Amino acid sequence: MNQRALRLTGSTRVLPGFGLSMGISVLFISLVLLLPITGLFGQLADLSLAQYWAIITEGRVVASYMVTIGAAAVAALINAVFGLLLAWVLVRYEFPGKRLLDALMDLPFALPTAVAGITLATLYAGNGWMGKLLEPLGFQVAYTWVGIALAMAFTSIPFVVRTVQPVLEDLPAEVDEAAMSLGATDAVAFRRVIMPHLWPALVTGTGLAFVRSLGEFGAIIFIAGNMPYETEITALMIFVKLQEYDYAGASAIASVVLFVSLALLLAINIWQGRFVRRLHGGKG
Amino acid sequence: MRRIGDAPAVKRLLIGAALVLSALFLLLPLVAIFAQAFSQGVAVFWANVSNYFTLHAIGLTLGVALLTIPICLVFGVALAWLVTRFSFPGRRILQTLIDIPFAVSPVVAGLIYLLLYGRNGWIGSWLDGHDIQLMFAWPGILMVTVFVTCPFVARELIPLMQAQGSREEEAAATLGARGWTTFWRITLPNIRWALLYGVILTNARAVGEFGAVSVVSGAIRGQTNTLPLHLEQLYQDYNAVGAFACAALLALIALLTLAAKASLEWRASRREALL
Amino acid sequence: MTLPAFFRHSVLAIALGASIATPAMAQERELLNSSYDIARELFSAINPEFEAWWQQEHGEEISVNQSHGGSSAQARAIMQGLRADVVTFNQVTDVQVLADAGLVAEGWQQALENNASPYYSTTAFLVRKDNPKGIESWDDLVKEDVSMVFPNPKTSGNGRYTYLAAWGFADKQFDGDEEQIQDFMRTFLGNVSVFDTGGRGATTSFIERGIGDVLISFESEVNNIRNEYGSDDYEVIVPPISILAEFPVAVVEQNAERNGNSDLAHSYLEFLYREDTQRLLAGFNYRVHDESVVEEFADQFPETELFNVEDVFGSWDEAMETHFAGGALLDQLQRR
């Protein structure tokens, strides 16, 4: 509370540029972000509540939510484990090729999603490099929801690595030295000492990865197979509605994704804010 | 003093797992792109790249990216300054609003611009009356690209500027420094690396955007076809080598991006070490 | 790089970007043809011919640009302001939408011969070498061990033709017994292994990924694929009964006038009916109307019974309404 009061009286008075930065930000957000979004709601206004409900609860659309959320959840879980491992290795160990590995982490962000899509589909199809190895073992990736989860995991892995990494870096060495000197095993010490510091960042990163996966289209569509009720993602349902000139229907489904994503992002932002404040303000 | 996970066996196991998984998951796709692009030799690759339509697509894509960056830069810095240096009601909401582009599926992003600025849209019909065409021309591509890329610079700057706090700027201001002087002399040098990192991410996304651009571009070869759209067309036309040649170009831009980023981080860490 | 230098570079970049992105003020007239996805190669071949012909006839240098996409998506783009002078689509409804919006003249189907469709095709099968599953007609496709690939009827005109062709066959087979037709269609749709969003995606799944026993697409397309990927590995099967797929063309009058291209646009469409162009079209495995060309290419196109959408389904509008709209028959048949 003290700190907040200080900020209010201190910063706002002394530093210049409030008007200018507020002006630019509000103008930009209004013109570039909010104005077009009103178009989306303009479309929704053509629908009655009952129609809206009917569109967003239609069997095939609901099935697509299940596929999308299920695959995104699996992808997020994979990324939580894999991302944690990578962040840990990158922060704690020295080994040849470390800088290269570190740079590679951002590849999914830098690589256009359509490129990722056709490449993953090529690799994991029955006659691709990976598909040739996996399919004889009875493990089909392409054109199943496993492929969807894979594409989602690929495009969102950097979120986890890049949020956990800085926290791990800032962790003072004394923390685990103390734990080790008490004779705890690695596993126990990690769980008891490191994880409590790490899990807020881990949850934030995983959450961001999850949100990103909900909206992803380009990377998934090539590998999904797009079978009704089985491997259709929600973004495809929006695309289908667009192809039918059904703007209102497309906007209705898009609005569901938008609300869910924004709610999750807001939750992450608020939660992160609390966490940062707690860190800076000590435990009190 | 021993730290957690320092035992050689554990260390080797974890590093090994990380390397193998990354190689399979991240490196292999990258290798596959180049393997496909060069599967019929360098000459075929080159013929595909030096094709007029491909060259035009490259020019358009880079041109749009280069226009996008300064716009996102000004907005990102202004917003980061606003939310980290001042406290006001609605700050958290403003911060969440800039995440809208992350929450909106790119196809929908394209659609909402089309609905507004297209011939039947509120603004579009007026523009059409004045013979101004934004959609299905490069300005439309630029507009949606700005939409999908605008959060990156701000998102990079906000945590950093929050962590740095405003003490230095406040000191300067109390000593009578003018606003712009404070910004150029104190703020900018502190945030330059994050700023550049934001620019790099913006550029990567701007170059690669597919979904939103495909809705508003019209995909006229030699006019409004960007490199990712061109790639998809080649892929559709059974020219897999041509498609992967474009993919390789885009991957190359991605790799340059990663290299630029890595060298920035290296410089930043060296600077820290010197201080 | 120091910061001021960085900003100098940005300024330079803006100038560069603008110069690249702004089309050079061209002296010559440019005609824009908005077309369906898989016609890119076709019109890449026709356009230079037309440019040369116009140059010869009128002494004027012009160029024809192409925009391709799903036929419905293209129509939508034109309604939202894509300034195409002419459309060459694969579905009548997509042109009709433009006519309803006042962009294309009413009665466009009477403006040119053969319902304004300079060429046509039908739906045919591509099977793997030696046709191991012995597929000859539509009823072979509902056998238990047959799996097939065709694009999603929801997103692709090509897929819609396939669906309607199968329905039309069942309609004849079961003498219009709705229940039996629906059972047939349910099994038919159940045998699809991948629903790609477009025709070319389906081809990739079938050829490159090796999925399915049969690829269903336009006759022209399956022949082109076979030529592209080796005639030894695949066989084309034209079923004895199938659907007539028209490829309607029209001038987008409003845009053509605005672009000062009216004369060019009309000539371009008429050019498609000329004997030489028809020969070119037949070379791309489209069926044409020009009699001398038909004779020349007689071997290439097996005789088959073609039915109209209008004959079986009343009209395109009705077909769209009862089969493809949200919650309509297609959705019901796929419901679990």
The two structure tokens encoding residue B5: 């996970």
Q: Is residue C128 domain-shared with residue C75, that is, in the same domain?
A: no
- Establish if B86 belongs to a structural domain: yes
- Establish if B50 belongs to a structural domain: no
Report pLDDT digits (tens) over A107-132: 888 888 889 988 998 899 878 899 88
Mean pLDDT of chain A: 84
Q: Are C11 and B57 a contacting pair, CB within 8 Å?
A: no
- Establish if C18 belongs to a structural domain: no
Q: Is residue C210 domain-shared with residue C322, that is, in the same domain?
A: yes
The pLDDT value recorded for residue A277 is 61
What is the CATH number for B171?
Answer: 1.10.3720.10
Distance of CA A95 to the CA centre of its chain: 29
Q: Spell out the residues 6+ positions from residue A104 whose beta carbon is closer than 8 angstroms to its own.
A: B22, B26, B27, B258
Name the most confidently modeled range: A62-76, A206-220, B146-160: A62-76
Separation CA B222–CA B225 (nearest Å): 6
The answer to whether the Cβ–Cβ distance between B121 and A39 falls below 8 Å is yes
CA end-to-end span of chain C: 61
Q: How many domains does chain C have?
A: 2
- Establish if B228 belongs to a structural domain: no
Q: Are B53 and B225 a contacting pair, CB within 8 Å?
A: yes
- Split at pLDDT 50, 70, 90, the class of A149 is very high
Q: Is residue C182 domain-shared with residue C323, that is, in the same domain?
A: yes
Q: How many domains does chain B have?
A: 1
Report pLDDT digits (tens) over C107-164: 999 999 999 999 999 999 999 999 999 999 999 999 999 999 998 888 788 899 999 9
Q: Is residue C91 domain-shared with residue C134, that is, in the same domain?
A: no
The answer to whether the Cβ–Cβ distance between B124 and C80 falls below 8 Å is yes
The two structure tokens encoding residue C169: 């066959």
Section A239-245 average pLDDT: 76
C-chain residues near A244 (CB < 8 A): 72, 154, 324-326
C-chain residues near B62 (CB < 8 A): 17, 20
Report pLDDT digits (tens) over B57-74: 999 999 999 999 999 999
Strand, coil or helix: C285? coil
ipTM over the 0.85 cut-off:
no
The pLDDT value recorded for residue A2 is 42
Beta pairing partners, C123: C218
CATH homologous superfamily for A48-280? MetI-like (1.10.3720.10)
The pLDDT value recorded for residue C336 is 66
Q: Is residue C66 domain-shared with residue C91, that is, in the same domain?
A: yes
The answer to whether the Cβ–Cβ distance between A58 and C327 falls below 8 Å is yes
The pLDDT value recorded for residue C13 is 44
Separation CA A70–CA A65 (nearest Å): 8
Section C154-182 average pLDDT: 92
Separation CA C91–CA C117 (nearest Å): 10
Separation CA C336–CA C332 (nearest Å): 9
Of A197, C330, C263, nearest to B4 by C-alpha is: A197
Q: Is residue C190 domain-shared with residue C103, that is, in the same domain?
A: no
Separation CA B14–CA C149 (nearest Å): 43
Residue A24 has pLDDT above 50, yes or no: yes
CB nearest B25 (choices: A118, A154, A176): A154
Rounded CA Rg of chain A: 23
Section C302-316 average pLDDT: 92
- Split at pLDDT 50, 70, 90, the class of C5 is very low
The answer to whether the Cβ–Cβ distance between B32 and A103 falls below 8 Å is no
Report pLDDT digits (tens) over B130-143: 888 899 999 999 99
The pLDDT value recorded for residue C271 is 96
- Establish if B239 belongs to a structural domain: no
Q: Is residue C111 domain-shared with residue C192, that is, in the same domain?
A: no
Residue C193 has pLDDT above 90, yes or no: no
User: What is the distance in angstroms between the Cα of B30 and the nearest Cα belonging to chain A?
Assistant: 8
Using the Cβ of B142 and the Cβ atoms of chain C, whether some distance falls under 8 Å is answered with yes
Report pLDDT digits (tens) over C200-209: 888 888 987 7
Mean pLDDT of chain B: 87
Q: Is residue C214 domain-shared with residue C256, that is, in the same domain?
A: no
Q: Distances from the Cα of A213 to the Cαs of A141, A220, A254, C323, in angstroms?
A: 18, 9, 14, 32
Q: Which residue has the higher pLDDT, C281 or A224?
A: C281
Owning domain of residue C70: 29-118+247-272
Q: Which of B40-44, B58-62, B120-124, C265-269 has the lowest mean pLDDT?
A: B120-124
Owning domain of residue B142: 56-223
Report pLDDT digits (tens) over C42-97: 999 999 999 999 999 999 999 999 998 878 888 888 998 899 999 999 888 889 99
What is the CATH number for C112?
Answer: 3.40.190.10
Q: Spell out the residues 6+ positions from residue C255 whose beta carbon is closer than 8 angstroms to its own.
A: C32, C78, C83, C84, C85, C103, C261
Q: What is the DSSP letter of C239?
A: -
pTM of the model: 0.84
Q: Spell out the residues 6+ positions from residue C56 whose beta carbon is closer than 8 angstroms to its own.
A: none
Report pLDDT digits (tens) over C14-29: 444 444 444 444 468 9
Mutation site for A-interface testing, chosen from B86, B95, B123, B167 by largest number of A Cβ within 10 Å: B86
Q: Distances from the Cα of A96 to the Cαs of B2, B6, B15, B16, B30, in angstroms?
A: 22, 17, 10, 12, 20
- Establish if C286 belongs to a structural domain: no
Q: Is residue C216 domain-shared with residue C326, that is, in the same domain?
A: yes
Q: Which residue has the higher pLDDT, A255 or A242?
A: A255
